[in-house]
Structure 1
Amino acid sequence: MSFDALLCDLDGVIRLYQPDGLADVERVHGLAEGTVTRIAFAPPLLTQAVTGVISDEQWQTRIAATLERQGTPPSAARELATAFVDAPHRIDHEVLELLAVARRRLPVVLVTNGTTRLESDLLALGLADAVDAVVNSARVGVAKPDARIYEIAAERAGIPAERCLFVDDSPTNVEAARAMGMSGIVYRERADLAHVIHPLAR
């Protein structure tokens, strides 16, 4: 596979969430596992959050407000909303090493459906300098799988779309990238990325 820029997703590839922490908080407050995530990811709320129509703080407030309407006490609702956005996670440092290898030969751009807190998250995680550019949907006003976000990512890389490789754990997002003329990989495990990056080290 030949490409001149690597466009990579964040969550599910570099940042891996561990949902047990949120589930524990839900159980403490008598909620079924997944309740808060379903509220947070319900349209149009999620779309508003990841396209910057509302801030991350407003997203949390609306999550809490929905929980309150469903009978959760206000203090518990706020705790649950915070637990959702601060859910336990880890960084796959071996993936970061692969991206570092790729950066020696070509631009690497992070392309993520993020909220307005993404930049502070990247700083806190030590990822701000791990890529050459960041395309945060909340800052550009469009989210994957909208074609425009792929165009913006290619522009940030300075490489034509047809010479970009897009990596994401969502098949829908990868198919959208392919429709733009990009190469695409549906990420399932580290080996998926290693397979295309290791030849760059030769």
Structure 2
Amino acid sequence: MSRAIVFDLFGVIALTQTPAAKRRIEDIAGVAPDALWDAYWALRKPYDAGQSSAEYWTAVADRLGVRFPAATIDALTAADLASWTNADPAMVSLVGELAGQGRRLGLLSNIIADLVPVFEERHRSWLAHFDALTYSCAIGVAKPDHRAFEIAAERLGVAPADCLFIDDTEVNVVAAREVGMRAEVFHSVDQIRALTT
């Protein structure tokens, strides 16, 4: 049994953007949706690693060949933050179960700096079950950078080999394995329950 369990946040415990939330961002941006999302994801890594929201949305606008006024950037930032604040009740319950069993829990998330206080305020109760919260924006590197996994293990006081890592993205799972973690692509609550018993 692994000494520590390290969870990704978005796509595992937290829910991804709903279609309605994405349409809200599209309406504010006022550009072709396909081009918007291409730019949104292509430029996300520096944002996850600590870039400011204003810098990020300016870079998105530059890539799209448009200009977002300050008010539009503020609205895009607010809508984007709101789109990432929901959690899966079944996974939240499982986290509570694991903590109740005395399991050592860590979180390793690619997350933008502005979202951290918003998410923590909304989900303070179950985030308290984690022994270490490792955020890309705070450590200056994002998954799949090997250093992100090493820092997450260090903060839990264990070696990477002592960690089970769960993520919904294959490239991050592969990177975790490369640093010595046992790692699995997330599929369901039942899968995680089976992996942790």
TM-score range, shorter chain: 0.7 to 0.9
Q: Is 1:109 paired with 2:103?
A: no
Query: Structure 2 CA distance, aligned partners of 1:28 and 1:55?
Result: 19
Q: Which secondary structure does the structure 1 equivalent of 2:15 belong to? A: strand
Q: 2:47 aligns with which of 46, 49, 68?
A: 49
The structure-2 alpha-carbon separation of the partners of 1:59 and 1:151, relative to structure 1 and needing over 3 Å to count, comes to: same
Deviation at 1:187, TM superposition (A): 0.5
Aligned pairs for 1:65-76 (under 5 A) are 66=63, 69-70=65-66
Shift of 1:86: 2.5
Give unpaired runs (5+ residues) of structure 1: none
CA distance 1:179–1:100, shift in 2 (3 Å): same
2:139 maps to 1:143:
no
Alignment match, 1:154: 153
Equivalent residue of 1:41, what SS?
A: helix
**1:166 touches 1:185 (CA, 8 Å); kept in 2?**
yes
Q: Distance in 2 between matches of 1:130 and 1:60?
A: 33
Q: Is the 8 A contact 1:113 1:136 kept in 2?
A: yes
Q: Match for 1:40: what amino acid? A: Y
1:83 aligns with 2:79: yes
The number of residue pairs the alignment matches comes to 193
Contact 1:9 1:111 in 2 (8 A): yes
Name the CA distance, whole Å, in 1 between partners of 2:98 and 2:171.
Answer: 24
User: What is the CA RMSD across the aligned residues, in angstroms?
Assistant: 2.6
1:81 deviates by: 4.7
* Structure 1 range deviating more: 31-40 or 125-134: 31-40
- In the other structure, the counterpart of 2:6 is 7
Say whether the 8 Å CA contact 1:63–1:81 is kept in structure 2. Answer: no
Give the fraction of aligned pairs with identical amino acids, expressed as a percent. 29
Shift in CA distance, 131/115, structure 1 to aligned 2, threshold 3 Å: same
Q: 1: distance between equivalents of 2:84 and 2:167?
A: 21
1:15 aligned counterpart, secondary structure: coil
Uncovered stretches (5+) of structure 2, i.e. residues with no partner: none
Cα drift, residue 101 of structure 1 = 1.9
User: 1: CA distance between counterparts of 2:167 and 2:84?
Assistant: 21
Task: Supply the AA of the counterpart residue of 1:23.
Answer: R
* Cα offset, 1:105, TM superposition: 2.4
The amino acid of 2:66's aligned partner reads Q
